[in-house]
Every structure is written in C-alpha cells, then in structure tokens.
Chains A and B, each alone.
Chain A
C-alpha cells in the first residue's frame, strides 16, 4: 500500500466498487486498507498534538465570515462588555475553535460481514422481495440500532453497512446528508471543483455525506489530498480541520517532500522539524542530528524522493539565515551594542 506510486495513468476499473467512470482524474483512490490500522497511531496524543501544531491555527481564518445558506445576512449581535466579560467570551471562542478544528478521524476501511441469525428453508416462496426490519426504539444510537433482513430464501441476517446507512438515513435523517451521494463527487464534477480550488468545500461535504471508514470517503479525500500535494496548495487547508488528516495521509504514504519543501521555502523550519518527528513516529525510524536543520538534512539523505530540490532549499535557507545574522550584527554595531 505504502509503496504505491501516486499517479496512475491506467486505472483498473474492476477494483473499484462504484459505478462511476474513472477516466478524467489522473489520481487513483488510496484507501487505508492495508494490514496495519492507522487508527491507533492517529489517535495517539503525541501525533494529535503534532498534527495540530502543523495546522498553524489562525483565528482570523477559523472565524472568518462564512455563508450560512440563508437568504439574507443575519443580524449581527452587538454587546457591551467589561474587560472580564470580553476575556471570557474570547476564551469561549477559542474552545469552540478546538471543536471546529477537530480532525476527521483516519481509520481503516470497514469490512463487516453480516452474521446470519437463522435459516428457515420452509419459508422459501413466501416473499418475492426481502423485508428490512428496523428497531426504532427511542434513544438508541444509529450504530447500535438493530437492523435485520429477511431474505427471499427465508434466511434472517443482519444488514450490511450500506443498507444500515441507508435505513438510518431514511428513518433518522442527518442534516445535509442525502440518501444518494450527490453528483459533485462524480469524477468530472469533482475535477471541476478541485480546479476551482474548492478543496475545503469538497472535504466538508464528504464529511457530512460519508462516514470516515467508508471507502467512498477515503477515495474522495485521498484524491483531494493528492491534488493539493501536487499543486502545492497547502495554504487552502491551513487553519481548517482537514490539514491534520492531509499531513497524516502524506506521512502515511511517505510523500512529504512537497510539504517539507514548502515549509523550508517559507522558512518555517520548526514546523519542518515537527513534520519529520511525525514521520519518524509513524514509520518508527530515527533521523540523527542535534539541530533542526541537521535532522532535515539526514531525512533528505535517507528517505527523500526529491533530494536535489530539498538540498537546494536548505542551502538557500542557510544563506538567508547567515545574511540575516550579519545584518543584525551590523545593526548592533551601529547602535554601539557589542557582544560580551
């Protein structure tokens, strides 16, 4: 799984379970369906904190004005506040930001084989279509709900996950989720959206429409991440909840060169170090070196796919840092401050 090259020109359509035609987009869908489960690693506290640091939270972007889908803009609420009240409300907003920036879980694709409850061949011939029985007892969670199917041959079995999802949506609809996935996730439309840099919208909508362990969700998110990685559009997802899962996806698939390059070029070396720490945590490898730059250099030597570009970027960064240092020294000298 991990060694899969990112770009497939010839895509095996038989592998895919959906009826869409996969022609226009050049990205293959990459699922978390290998032997190892990304779930425990993703939910690791250290990994979570690293992902949040890499998200680089900007409250102006998190709380930017959005369209709510209402006909008119809502009336702004004005309030008079004392210093304490203002501080409190800012704290409240920060806490809300944590909720807004909760990273969608990265988990393995689900495979549930429905268990057969009973077989009664004497019922054969009774039904011409199967019957789905749903328990609608008040207060039961969607995941715990009893949903069973009586097949036409008389077997009674649990419903598979697609049917469960459909039935849950029928009887207990979730806001914004449709019974059939919208056409925007079909390839030509998806490509159009990605070209218009609507990545956040695509991912938000996918989060509503699908569960994180559905293959369709992982297909859409992986394609979006690959598009971002290839076009260097990391700024689109910064300060959104999807940046964490994007970084995790790239690290899991050993494809962090573009992101690393982006970080070094914008002289965010600390973040580069955090990224490499994340890499070594997930893949259980160590990169020797004491300073940040040395670690990055050792990573480029041993694990990078874009050695040349990365080395050049590091060199450029070093030169800039040096000239800055000299400038500071000069300024200090001019001000009469000498190092002691």
Chain B
C-alpha cells in the first residue's frame, strides 16, 4: 500500500494542471468518486532525459553548425552555410529587456561616483526590437572589404596592384617620394623531411620614385604582411636608374625577352597613355612612364613579365649610341611639322651610301626590335555583323546617317532645331516634353 501511495505522489508531481480548475489531491479523487465531484485531472507523459539535456551547449552548437568529415562524404549538412547560422543569444543580456529598467548590480553599477544608483524605469526604446532583428539578419553575411577606387588593386581588395607606401627608412635615408606596388602575393608550400609541408606567403613588389628610379624584389614570410614588408624593403635596396624620353615615355621601341615571355614595347607620344599588360602598367606608373604601348607574347607570368620589362628598360640606348652603332644620322620626321628632317643624333664618322651593305636595313623599327617582327592578327569582324537584326539596323540607319550632323548645324545656326521649312510647317517642330510642375499641397 505504501508503495502504491508513493507512485501516486510521483504521478502527482508530473501532473499538469488545468489552471481553470482547482488543484485537488489525487488521494481525494478516490473519495470523490463516491461524492461525484466534477474536478478533472489530466495526465501527460514526459521524459526527464532528452537530447538537449544530454549534451553541453557548445557541442549542441557544433552539431548544428558543422558536419563531420564522414558526414560530408555521405552528403549530409548541405543546407549548413554561414548565412543560415544565427546565434540568437547575441543581444540577449540578462537584465536588459523590453522594459528599459535599471537594475543596480545587474545591468548598472551599484555606486556611480559617490551616489547610489536607484532601481528605476527609463523611457522605453521603441527601436530595440528593430535593432535586434537587423542584427540577426546581418548575421552570417560577411561583407567584403570595400576600398576607394584610388586604393583598389587590379581586382577589388586583392593585394596585387595595390600600393603599400614607401619603403622603411634605412638609417637617415628616407624614401619619401617612393611608392611601392604589389605585383603578386601568393601562397607557397615547402616540403621538408622533418617538418613536412610548410606554408608561406611570397610577395613580389616594385618600388620607384616616379622619376626614373625603381627596383623590384621578392619577399617570403609566414604572414602576408611580413612578406610584403620584406619585399618592399629589399626592393628599396635594389634600385636601378632607368632612362626616360622627355620624362614621359621610353627612349625607343624595344624587344625584350625573359624565359618564355617576349615583350614588344613601343614609344608613344604624349597623351597616349599606358596600353599594356597590367603588371607592366603598374611598373610604368612607379617608374614614371606615362605613354607606352606594349605587347606580351608567350607566357604572361607576372614574375617573368616584370623581369623581362626591367631587362629591356636597362638595355635602352641613347640616340647618340644608336647613331654611333649604325654609323648613320638619326632623323625625326614629324607629321605636325610637315615632315621637316630634325636631326636627333649624328655619328662621329658617317657612313657613305657606297659603304652600306646591300642587305643592310635603314629601317628604325627593325633596328629597335632587333629584327623581330610582331605577330599581327587579322582583326575578326564583330560577332553581330552576321546577325539579321544588324542588317536591318543598317538598312534603317542608312536613312538617318547624317541626322546628327544636320541637327548640330541647325543648332549652331538658329539655336534650336529648325530650318527654313519650319515657318511653312510649324507643326513639324521638335516636341519637348514640358517639365513636371511640383504640386504644392494645400494645407
């Protein structure tokens, strides 16, 4: 009997009670059967142990937000991504809630200055809920580092192409006018018998003062930042002087090669700009070359492109050297000055016509490129030239091909789009949509 009673009391503990009805001891129920009391007691089976109680919080969290390797192989956890993981505990602090209460000792210090902080209710923050929701929505979405267009590298916030400032001063020597640009930043692996595979970062940078002084170097380190710093400071110790033509372009066209990388470089007039491989462009900007055209044939490995370009630059000849080399006058003929021969350099002893060899070339370009010829591909017609729609467009455009010019002439002559026929046909004037008037609301 006593055992039975104990069971009954246990059941009683687990009972969920309908709040509308008064709490009645199950013992009474037995008696009530006779008295026909209307009290109703319902039972609900529960388990004391469950999944959430068995494991600690961090393990539970891990179970939700990650998949084991074995599980991944079986294709589990495909919906798990950082975007979906939301830590709802964030922003939920004990003592801070809907009602903006000040709890000394919980959400506020007990003594502030010399005064005792009182428990009090502050005015409610209406945006609290909104802020919480916003914080939860933003969770898991990592925004990319946004750089200003001036600071950007070749592709967004990646390092190659970005500037990392002047090299560090060596003693009293400072590099104030210098600017360093990253050309490459990559991860390199090394295999060792004792350590196994080790990972490091390698950076190639070029530094220069934008006035014909520049150097390049590679640096390796565990951290990318250290690699960059090493490379930068090493580049500052390997500066070479580079000849420029009128401080804006290379001295002459040249051909240069390093490994499988071949570069043809053209001298260009002012205002042309840098039209070349992006690595060459970056190097030129650092050296101070403003106008140039270069074509890279073969491998475009940045390291090799850089080395080939620096080789070519350092092998440039002055006009005097070229004239001396050929034994001929070097003459410039400009379209702007009606091709008047402007002698740039003369040799000490000039060759005579009879002394020149039969197959000797007088061609300047051929001399500069060392006899190499650039591969010139036939330009392909644009992809749309075979479309039916393009032919239709051409047929339609044929009738208004001079329209723009005629319009401009009318504007210069009359100040508006009109002709002598406008007086005869005033309805044929160009229609300008009147500007929308902003309606003022009457109050």
Contact between A81 and B329, CB atoms less than 8 A apart: yes
A172 interface contact, C-beta 8 A? no
Q: Does A64 contact B (CB under 8 A)?
A: yes
Asked whether any CB of chain A lies closer than 8 Å to the CB of B268, the reply is yes
Contact with A along B336-348 (1 / 0, CB 8 A): 1111110110000
- Add 17 more A-B contacts to A72-B269, A85-B353 (CB < 8 A): A63-B340, A68-B336, A74-B269, A74-B335, A77-B333, A79-B362, A80-B323, A80-B330, A80-B331, A80-B367, A81-B328, A82-B329, A84-B352, A86-B329, A89-B331, A93-B340, A100-B338
Given A79-B333, A81-B362, the answer on whether A72 and B341 have CB atoms closer than 8 Å is no
State the B residues within 8 Å of A (CB).
252, 268-272, 323, 326, 328-341, 343-344, 350-353, 356, 362-364, 367, 412-413
CB neighbours (8 Å) of B344 from chain A are 78
Instruction: Give the 6 A-B residue pairs with the shortest CB-CB distance, closest first.
Output: A63-B340, A73-B269, A80-B328, A74-B335, A78-B364, A65-B336
Q: Are A90 and B341 in contact (CB under 8 A)?
A: yes
Q: Is A231 an interface residue (CB 8 A)?
A: no
A235 at the interface (CB under 8 A from B): no
Does A14 sit at the interface, judged by CB under 8 A?
A: no
Q: How large is the interface on A (under 10, 10 to 19, 20 to 34, 35 or more residues)?
A: 20 to 34
For A93, the chain B residues whose CB sits under 8 A away are: 338-341
A81-B331 contact, Cβ under 8 Å, with A73-B269, A73-B270: yes
Given A72-B269, A180-B413, residue A82 in contact with residue B351 (CB < 8 A) = yes
Q: How far is the CA of A76 from the CA of B341 in the complex (A)?
A: 11
Q: What residues on A are CB-neighbors of B362 within 8 Å?
A: 79-81
Which residues of chain A are near B338, meaning CB under 8 Å? 63, 93, 96, 100
Is A67 an interface residue when CB atoms closer than 8 A count as contact? yes
Residue pairs across A and B with Cβ atoms less than 8 A apart, 7 shown, are: A77-B334, A79-B331, A81-B328, A83-B352, A86-B343, A93-B341, A180-B413
A128 to chain B, nearest CB (A): 13
Q: How far is the CB of B237 from chain A (nearest CB, A)?
A: 37
Q: Residue of A at shortest CB range from B268? A: A75
Say how far B180's CB is from chain A's closest CB, in angstroms: 31
- Compute how far the CA of A63 lies from the CA of B335 in the bound complex, rounded to whole angstroms: 10
The residue on B at minimum CB distance from A100 is B338
Which of these, B331, B337, B356, B364, contacts A65 with CB under 8 Å? Answer: B337
B336 surroundings in chain A (CB, below 8 A) = 65-68, 73-74
Chain A hits for B323, CB < 8 A: 80
Question: In residues 58-114 of chain A, which contact B (Cβ within 8 Å)?
Answer: 59, 63-68, 72-86, 89-90, 93, 96, 100
Q: Considering only CB atoms, which chain B residue lies closest to A93 in the complex? A: B340
Q: Once the chains are docked, how many angstroms separate the CA of A47 from the CA of B152? A: 69
| Chain A nearest Cβ from B248, distance in angstroms | 11
In Å, the complex CA distance between A173 and B112 comes to 93
- Which of A65, A81, A84, A96 neighbours the largest number of chain B CB atoms within 10 Å of its CB? A81
Q: Chain B: which residue is nearest A180 at the CB level?
A: B413
Whether the Cβ atoms of B334 and A82 lie closer than 8 Å is no
Cβ of A28 to closest chain B Cβ, rounded Å: 28
Kindly provide the distance from the CB of B127 to the nearest chain A CB, expressed in whole angstroms: 57
Say whether A78 contacts B413, CB under 8 Å: no
Closest to A84 in B: B353
Is there an interface contact between B269 and A76, defined as CB atoms closer than 8 Å? Answer: yes
Question: Smallest CB-CB separation from A89: which chain B residue?
Answer: B341
Nearest-CB distance from B353 to chain A (Å)?
5
Chain B residues near A68 (CB-CB < 8 A): 335-336
Residues of chain A contacted by B333 (CB below 8 angstroms)? 76-79, 89
Residue ID in chain B nearest A70 by CB atoms: B335
Residues of A within 8 A of B363 (CB): 80
Known: A72-B272, A93-B338. A80 touches B343 (CB 8 A): no
Bound complex: CA A75 to CA B364 (Å): 13
B340 touches A80 (CB 8 A): no
Point out the residues of chain B lying under 8 angstroms from A89, CB to CB: 331, 333, 341
Query: Could you say which residues of chain A place their CB within 8 Å of the CB of B343?
Result: 86
Interface contact A64-B337, CB-CB below 8 Å: yes
